[in-house]
Amino acid sequence: MSEAPAHVIDAVGRRCPLPVIDLAKQISEVPVGSVIELLADDPAAAADVPAWCRMRDHEFVGEKARGDATAYLVRRTH
């Protein structure tokens, strides 16, 4: 997971479903094949982001701790 994200969404402090809505609105801002990073501190994002990726056919790359938040990495596939 060393690839630098093409775009970062700061959704810290936003609660479900807002982080995933932010991701859905902004994923089209990166080129196909690029990674977008979603920063969120809502525990629901741990399940919501991978589920959204499966439903929308994007690749969930992984997650990593980032201070008090978690960085969710998603690769745009289409």
DSSP state at residue 30:
S
CATH number, position 31: 3.30.110.40
30 vs 1, residue with greater confidence: 30
Provide Rg for the chain, Cα atoms.
11
| CA gap 68, 39 in Å, rounded | 10
Euclidean distance between the first and the last CA atom of the chain, given in angstroms as a whole number: 20
Q: Domain count for the chain, please give it.
A: 1
Q: Is residue 59 part of a domain?
A: yes
Whole-number pLDDT of residue 60: 98
The verdict on residue 26 lying in a domain is yes
Tell me the residue range of the domain where 52 lies: 7-75
Answer whether residue 1 shows pLDDT above 60.
no
Residue 2, domain member (yes or no): no
Please name the residue ranges forming H helices in 1-78: 18-26, 45-56
The catalytic site residues sit at 16
Q: How confident is the model at residue 2 (pLDDT cuts 50, 70, 90)?
A: low
d(CA 29, CA 72): 17
